[in-house]
Structure 1
């Protein structure tokens, strides 16, 4: 859904759980232009965006300024171990992620469309890492937790990688043009006012939990931003469309809520071992869900099928 929405995803997991391979397989599935950047402390913003360089013209011998584009000029950019890059370099992605364009010197250049950043990070490393600022985390539509493989999955992984051609690959199942068309259709999906109110209440509950009977006043230090509400609405529309409906139901919002909210909540020290996922689950269980009667108008929504 993030690719359909032309938004960005943060993948978090310990080393060796195939985060990078997953992104490569996804790129194969949509046949998009793919670039990879390895996050290291010595990476500079120009290593991502590109730079103006002074070169000698072989024809006349004069010095000329040439614009060298960086790996950000692609459809799918994998930033591996983004939290190993210095904050200044991390921030260089902000304009690209938010605006779909970058500024190099005095030139502002549009990025290919669609454009998607898939970034990975290791949650257990403490040395040589730089925590993503809240502003940058907020740019990611989803934060996906990549679990360790189950025992039977681990055995399958060993069998696959023991073969000569063990690297995973995916066949093309769609195209970038089709993804753009799906997004245009998803924008027409009907959303009842009660669903919009439900999204607003979920966001409000992250700032004022006691209003909704949630005992988390001293646990949540910072709530979700307005961008979270935009992403909830956008993702719920796509979720409804992919499930064959031309209207958004409460279940569409609930199915995407954790992935959208988990990295937008800041917990206080009094949270102890409580996780943001548990807080989101508590919010989803307490905030009143619109009743079918409230959503009956959705059944009368015009079809989005072409």
Structure 2
């Protein structure tokens, strides 16, 4: 860039400095080099990780200014330009990991207008099982504004004997229109739009649109054959919720951890009579957990 001295620091080093800087340092950089931050904003927010409710609010919520804070005195520091440069539409990968979610949490007002959505490439959601019944703010103010192509749900700390189903939304989270693939681990999130129950955020059923649902078997069901048959029976009994009738062949993928498990699972799928109307929908894939 024209305002940067040539041959001082490699571009990768400059970008790393900005990415790793604390908020106060970023504020200084913003005042010193507006053009630099403007040029790097897309890279800064291409991949965003949120690990606390406080960070979630800073990213998506406007700061509510009290009346007495409305006038800045001469001794007050100038406002940071960082928020002016933050472009949520630049985010491609968003990872949200919340260990807890208090009942009193409020996420409004949003920095986005209701008609705007963030067209993410990938969304990672890691939420505690105890979030059941506590996600009204997420459901109303945040999740409907996201529109990913791929989504990874990871339900944390589900009790061994607890239900696999976790209530996420009632009406707002009716479906992400761009969603092509969803990975489910630890629990099965469901929502209740007007047209009936379905896995959370799946778009409306359509034979013309391919959507892949990947169930990570080890975290959802026991791999032992009798238990896996019970799992398949559960899926067959909830065919409307999964949308089995509108899925294309191979679109419901059972993800296992080894080739041996894959062979055992394929045999169960091939011989289990209760899934006969939808057998073509099932596929088995190996994915080794790191």
User: What is the TM-score normalised by the length of structure 2?
Assistant: 0.30
**Higher RCO, Cα 8 Å, sep 6+:** 1
**TM-score under structure 1 normalisation?**
0.29
